[in-house]
Amino acid sequence: MNKQASCGPVEHWDLSDGKVAMLRSIGPQDAEIEQAFVRGLSEESKYFRFMTQMCELSPEMLQHFINPDPMREAALIVTVPRDGGGAEEEIAVGRYAMNPGNESCEFAIVVADAWQAHGIATRLMQALMKHAAGRGIKRMEGFVMASNIKMLEFMCFLGFEVRSSAKGPQIKLVSRPLDDMATI
């Protein structure tokens, strides 16, 4: 049974530098921090995430990204406090969209370069998988560039199977059942 995505704050994490990161659903109020996050990514991170060269999100992409369809999509962001005044800086985002039939979903994830190798993606992927499992989605899939060795190793670490894809030799399909994920 598929359910509408829940919203609002999900988790708080203590980071090694003393900051507290917040994991929450993205929303229409996040246009500025989402665009700033994408602009700030390195060329390589942007290419691995979007599989094309780009500077920033188009207005259409931005609107879509901050307004995921609650019936078939979800997007979780990780933020840290900025400037001590209640403002947030986005440091990671993970999202998925249900595939036709609603049995599986396709995900994508990206972490700000300065925050990589701190375990952010591990926690974000766990949250994304639990979120999807809680809606009754049975399998999570994603497309990863064959040259993205770090992501492919990370996927294996998380229990994803890596296979060739119908998109050609440069793009791998990663796939994992969600039956071991606790429901939200």
* Contact set with ligand COA (CB under 6 A): 45, 48-49, 108-111, 116-122, 142, 144, 148, 150-151, 153-154, 157
Write the CB contacts of 12 (distance below 8 Å, at least 6 apart in sequence).
20, 21, 22, 23
When the beta carbons of 105 and 110 are compared against ligand COA, the nearer one is 110
Question: DSSP readout, 140-163?
Answer: EEEEEETT-HHHHHHHHHTT-EEE
Taking the complex as a whole, how short is the minimal distance between the CB of residue 15 and ligand COA, in angstroms?
A: 12
* Minimum distance from residue 57 beta carbon to ligand COA (Å): 15
Query: In the bound complex, what is the minimum distance in angstroms from residue 128's beta carbon to ligand COA?
Result: 11
**Least CB distance from residue 1 to ligand COA, whole Å?**
28
Is 29 or 156 the residue whose CB approaches ligand COA more closely? 156
Distance of CA 69 to the CA centre of its chain: 15
Please work out, in degrees rounded to the nearest 5, the angle formed at the alpha carbon of residue 44 by the alpha carbons of 39 and 45: 60
Give the CB-nearest residue to ligand COA.
Answer: 121
CB of 19 to ligand COA, least distance (A): 15
Of 85, 84, 81, 75, nearest to 22 (Cα)?
81
Provide the token pair at 178.
């969600």
Closest to ligand COA by CB, 31 or 158: 158
Would you tell me how many other CB atoms lie within 10 Å of the CB of residue 117? 9
Give the residue with the Cβ less far from ligand COA, 66 or 120. Answer: 120
Cβ 117 vs Cβ 91: under 8 Å: no
- Nearer residue to ligand COA within complex by CB, 170 or 183: 170
